[in-house]
Chains A and B, each alone.
Chain A
């Protein structure tokens, strides 16, 4: 069964850092397009970052330079390193597996509170 499980969320002060993890099972991470999507409390979905199959990265303008995606194929894990956190980064963060054009598989999400 294809599954994604996020962890690493929590509360942090403005300016602080957190690293979110996404454990993948049922598929090969290194052959997959992966993304992070977030949802602020009571708000809509917002795409945050992509990692392509070739390892290249793309970011939402407002997180460029503060957030970094990475993967560890040996651990079958996908990560989001978040630095210089702001109140407006408060959200549930979902990792998602893309079939290039859409987000086919989603994790259950992990909450990040910056306060």
Chain B
């Protein structure tokens, strides 16, 4: 049950794109297509942005997209907007019917 590895920070100017990586192992990210991504603003509860690697819940802008290759998943935010500034966490279903979260990435809109 080790945390998935994310870069501590990422940034981009308004309108640009930013991509966040999430690296695990064959026991979690690489073994299942069950990676999800969460956005968390300061003092608020997390919000689901992507599930099952690429799917977007209703109401999430299509500027948010997900992908996976091997043991690494990625979240891309295109057309960055000021309100996208937040912490982002990945999560994966893992062996043993458990879940593991990533270390978190703080996204700054310059």
Could you tell me if A47 and B45 are in contact, using CB atoms closer than 8 angstroms?
Answer: no
Structural contact, B104 and A60, CB atoms closer than 8 A? no
Q: Which of B18-55 contact A (CB under 8 A)?
A: 34, 36, 38, 40, 45-48, 51-52
Task: Categorize the interface residue count of chain B.
Answer: 20 to 34
Inter-chain contact count A-B, CB under 8 Å? Answer: 61
Whether A102 sits at the interface, judged by CB under 8 Å, is yes
Q: Which residues of A sit under 8 angstroms from B97, Cβ to Cβ?
A: 50, 52, 58
* Interface of B (DSSP majority class): strand
* Chain A positions within 8 Å of B96 at CB level: 58
Listed in ascending order, the chain A residues whose CB lies under 8 Å from chain B are 35, 37, 44-47, 50, 52, 58, 60-61, 94, 99, 101-104, 106-109
A101 pairs with B46, CB closer than 8 A: no
CB within 8 Å for A44 and B1 given contacts A35-B99, A103-B36, A104-B51: no
